[in-house]
Amino acid sequence: RRGDSMALPAVAAGPGLAGPMLDQAPAWVPRRSGAALPSAAGQEVPSFGSKAYWDRRFEGEESFEWLLGYEQLRDEGLLDMVCPDRSARVLNVGCGNARVTEEMYDAGFRSIVNVDISEVVVEKMRARSRSERPEMQWLVADVLDMACFEGGSFDVVLDKSTLDAVSCGSPEIGENEAVARMLAEVTRVLRPGGAYLLVTLNATNPLFLRMPHLSLDVTKRALKSGGVRSTICVCRKRPEADAVLEARRPAMLAWAAEVDACVREHWPLPPPPPSLRRAPPAAPGGG
């Protein structure tokens, strides 16, 4: 059953999670689904969490813009909100073959790094931009482990439906662990005060932002474009986020992996460990 969840003992959330539109949302509980994206009745959901799926798709596809494009992000004021300074260092996770960052570059954003797990699309995009956008970077990287970047390296992380794909899980890793790893890495590479701009097709995915190893101020809104309704979250990294992540990441990842194992076997879900039920670390200086 897609989107099912089971009530568990209370998990102490990070101190910054109750942003506008999220303050009345329930605490995060593990997802028990096997597919995180909606599909037409009777149609099988593609293996969005599989690298092989994307390699095959990108072999024969030149460009596809997931959800909102550059003009929509600009006209809705979202780009001005997260990166008013065009010198901001921007990381586009799961870039695919979308044109959004190419158009951002043409509008004056020069410090953009694009990453994708598919070598196929990275090589294509690198070749496509080489002559006209020489400062644009295209790298092969897994959003679940971005060790190629130091902590606090970016002012903005742009995510247009990559969380959607990751939250579908894969044969190698379950969806709760995959999302926990991805959001930990997104938080780590952001500077304090930096913004994670999430555009998602699944209206329940913002609840992942309440995972207890995260500390984000979240503003959420809905936007309909071309008949498709997207949910947009602007997530600001709080001052204590690195301390929260360091203290809680190991327990969170272990618990998420255990949850996914229980989901696969149709067992009752395990309760969170005590360390995730205690209050998280405070901001430096007690702020």
- Domain limits, the chain: 64-267
pLDDT at 5: 37
Q: Mean pLDDT of all residues in the chain?
A: 83
What pLDDT was estimated at residue 226?
75
- Enumerate residues 6+ apart whose C-beta is below 8 A from 52: none
User: What does the alpha-carbon distance between residue 73 and residue 79 come to, in Å, rounded to a whole number?
Assistant: 6
Better-scored residue on pLDDT, 57 or 140: 140
Taking only Cα atoms into account, the Rg of the chain, rounded to an integer number of angstroms, comes to 18
What is the per-residue pLDDT across 186-209, written as a single tens digit (0 to 9) for each? 999 999 999 999 999 888 999 999
C-alpha span between 156 and 84 (Å, rounded): 11
What is the per-residue pLDDT across 96-152, written as a single tens digit (0 to 9) for each?
888 999 999 999 999 999 999 889 999 999 999 999 999 999 999 999 999 999 999
CATH topology for the 64-267 domain:
Rossmann fold (3.40.50)
Q: With contact defined as beta carbons under 8 Å apart, do 170 and 50 qualify?
A: yes
